[in-house]
Structure 1
C-alpha cells in the first residue's frame, strides 16, 4: 500500500469524506481535505534492493469557510494521523494558517513524516 493510500484511509472519515489527492475538484463543498507527497527520505541499500516501506513527507491541507472550522478540522487531521499506528507518524511541523484570496477560504497546512 502506498503512503497516499494509507493517508486517504486514515482521513476518509473526516470532512464528510471530501478528501482528495493534490487538489479538490472545482466547486467542491467545504470543508475539505487535500493531501500530497512533498518529499521524504528514501532508504538506500548497498544491495540495491527496494525497501518494503517508504519514508514520505506528506502535506495535508484543510479548507473551510471560517478560521475556527479550519482550525478544528486541522486538529482532527493531526489527531487521526498521530493515532494511525500503520503510518508510524512523526509530525514535521505545526499547523500553518492559510488564506486563499480568490475563494476566500480559510485553511491550515501541516506536514507529517510517514514511514509505511
Structure 2
C-alpha cells in the first residue's frame, strides 16, 4: 500500500510529527501532512498495469525558512521512491498564521 511507503520515508522527519490528511489540533510545529490526491491505473490489453500516484506533502511551520527547510527534507526523503518531477510551492495560511511548503510529485508503482 502506497500510504505505508510514503509514511515509512517521512516518519522520522519533524520529530515524527507526520500525519495523513490533517494534523491534530495543537500539534507542535513544524509538522507534515501528506495525502494522495490522485491515483491512476493504466489499462492494458491484458488488464490493468502500472499505477501512477500523485503524492502531496505539506510542511507547516512558524517561519518561511523553517517551512522551506522542511521542504528540502521532504524531497530528500522521497528520493528512494524514485519520484518524477517535484513541484515546490510556498504559502501562508492566514487562518492559522503558519507558513507552508507544498511538495507534489508522481510516483509509479
Normalized against structure 2, the TM-score is what?
0.91
How far 1:57 sits from its partner (Å)? 0.5
Computed over aligned residues only, the root mean square deviation of the Cα atoms, in angstroms, reads 1.4
Contact 1:19 1:33 in 2 (8 A): yes
Counterparts of 1:4-23 in structure 2 under 5 Å?
A: 4-23=3-22
Gaps of 5+ in 1: none
Alignment size in residue pairs: 109
Counterparts of 1:1-116 in structure 2 under 5 Å?
A: 2-48=1-47, 50-51=48-49, 54-82=51-79, 84=80, 87-93=81-87, 95-116=88-109
Contact 1:70 1:106 in 2 (8 A): yes
Gaps of 5+ in 2: none
Normalized against structure 1, the TM-score is what?
0.86
Contact 1:57 1:112 in 2 (8 A): yes
Contact 1:3 1:114 in 2 (8 A): no
Which string of whole-angstrom CA distances, capped at 9 and with x for unpartnered residues, describes residues 28-52 of structure 1? 111101110111432212222x44x
Contact 1:70 1:108 in 2 (8 A): yes
